[in-house]
Copies of this chain bind each other. A is one copy, B any other.
Amino acid sequence: MESIAEIQRSDSAKPSTPEIDALVREIIDRVADKWTMLVLEVLEEQGTVRFTRLGELVGGVSQKMLTKTLRQMESDGLIVRTVHPVIPPHVDYQLTELGRSLSEAFCGVWLWAEKYHDAVFAARQAFRQRQRPA
């Protein structure tokens, strides 16, 4: 197993073996999802939330995608889904410890967006100008 491949990159900042890299990639792909992040944020702020309310708070999500996203997050261990066997049905969602940790990790991006959105919009405008030189 000790091939040359492992030795030659001892200066790498991250000790990413190809296999770990693939795993991490898989997670990033999954997690770098619009609805996942928004649901995560809502649950972080609101605690325990019911299905319909969650859809309202997220905003602009179809119930189809909401269901899909929630199932996926549940499968990934980010949230717990609790069904109260009453009529009418009552289902609520909340973050797991894992979910909270991801929310915290993503917080940096959120703060970045809050801090630099105007810089981004300015850059876009400048870019458009550059593309249209009369």
Interface string of A78-111 (1 = CB under 8 A from B): 0000000000000000000010011011111111
Whole-angstrom distance between the alpha carbons of A64 and B95 in the complex? Answer: 37
Q: Is B117 a contact of A98 with CB atoms below 8 Å? A: no
Q: Is the CB of B77 within 8 A of A28?
A: no
Task: Report how many residues on chain A are interfacial, defined by Cβ distance under 8 Å.
Answer: 48
- CB distance B112 to A105 under 8 Å? yes
CA distance A104 to B75 in the complex (A): 28
> Are A120 and B33 interface neighbours, CB within 8 A?
no
In the complex, the answer to whether B28 meets A123 with C-beta atoms within 8 Å is no
User: Digit string of A111-124 for contact with B (CB within 8 Å is 1, else 0)?
Assistant: 11110111111111
Query: Which listed residue, B14, B28, B118, B123, touches A109 by the CB 8 Å rule?
Result: B28
In chain A, positions 18-37 with a C-beta closer than 8 Å to chain B are 20, 23-29, 31-34, 37
CB pair B98 A120 closer than 8 Å: yes
Partner of A120, one of B12, B27, B109, B112: B27
Separation of A24 and B26 alpha carbons in the complex (Å): 25
Q: Can you report 15 A-B residue pairs in the complex whose CB atoms are below 8 A from each other?
A: A12-B45, A23-B113, A23-B117, A24-B117, A27-B117, A29-B34, A76-B123, A77-B119, A77-B120, A101-B116, A102-B109, A104-B108, A105-B108, A106-B108, A106-B112
